[in-house]
Structures are given as C-alpha cells and as structure tokens.
Amino acid sequence: MDLSAELAAARESYTRSGLTEDDLAADPFEQFERWYAEARDAGIVEPNAMVVSTVSPDGAPSSRTVLLKRFSTEGFTFFTNTASRKGSELAHNPRCAVLFPWHPLERQVRIDGVAHELSAADVEAYFSQRPRGSQLGAHASHQSRVVSGREELEAAYAKVEAEFEGRPVPVPEEWGGYRVEPETVEFWQGRPGRMHDRLVYRREADTWRTERLAP
C-alpha cells in the first residue's frame, strides 16, 4: 500500500489561537501550569503523557512515552525501571529532551534538560501509592529485556502475585524515578500558513531569558 499521496495531502490549518510575548508568564513553570490546566480542561486524554528522548553511548537516539507524575520549579518527574534502555542511557548521559504533544490544542511544549535520579525515599513514597497491579507488574517485567512471548510475562506476573499475596509489595531494586531539570522550555502554538509561534525560556543562572524562534 502506497501512502505517499495521502500523506502529502494530509494537513491541518492551525487557527485556534496565538502566543505573544505579552502572554508569557514570568517563568516557564507558571506558563506550563497554565497550559497544562487548559489541556486537562479541554479533555485531552492523559495530558501528562510526555515523550522522553535519550541517547545511547554510541549516539543513537531513542524516544518513548512516559507519564509526568510530579511537577515543581525543580523540574518534571517520572518513574520507571532504571535498568531499562532509558535508565541505562540516562546513567551514561543524563541530558535528555521531553515533549508534551497537545495536538487538539495545536500546541507542544518542548524541554531540554538534565535528569537527576530520585532518592530512595522519594521512590518509596510514590511506589506505595501505585495500584497493586502496577506494583506487581514492576516486579514481573524487567523492562526492555527480550522475552520469549506473552506467556513468559504472564507466568512472571502470576509468580510475583503469589509471592506477595497478603502482604505489601516492596519497591523492586531496579525501579526508580527521575526529575528532569530544564535548561530550555519552548512553548509552541500552531498558526495559519505554518507561521507558528515558538517562544523559548532559556535558563541563565537563577533567571530566565525569553526569545522567539522562527517556525
């Protein structure tokens, strides 16, 4: 099936709104809070879903979707298996990129920053709040490793379910979290004629400088 013609013709005209310098909050954290609230209120499915991109030791990039679970002026936090591909790559190079793709609002938020591994206490506090099924899954799945098939995963889940029956599920040794401390945060708003608004906050010591990029 040749999709070339269909893809070449696929386009939308972005007309919902614009973004000017006067619209911006004093810092990217307040601006993110505003846009996140609008994404949530617009009914976007999992507005906290974000694409995290990392780089392997030989320079190969990889991306995957995770869920934002904490947010503050210190950064954007997510939890995962630290022995996964993303965890291994962050251990080698903590620099990463984050993308929130809020297509229904014709918006993106792009973040470049450095990932810091969370303390055991922070990880324990979040893990204890997770649904029990997710806790068991964290033990059963050694993320990113090759498995023989679905049956192997189901057998592993059944094993840990029996192992922890009737008692709390502890945090797996290879499970943790990361806080991405931003260095740049770009707010992208679609505009007609592909003349999009791209306004960027850049960290300079303890302050933030803003600038506009060509679309």
User: Helix, strand, or coil here: 163?
Assistant: helix
Does 70 participate in catalysis according to the annotation?
Answer: no
End-to-end CA distance of the chain: 32
Residue 61, burial from CB neighbour count under 10 angstroms (0-12, 13-18, 19+): exposed
Helix 150-163 and helix 132-140, axial crossing angle in degrees, nearest 10: 120
> Nearest-CA neighbor of 79 among 112, 144, 126?
126
Catalytic residue chosen out of the listed positions 16, 34, 132, 194: 194
Residues serving a catalytic function are 194
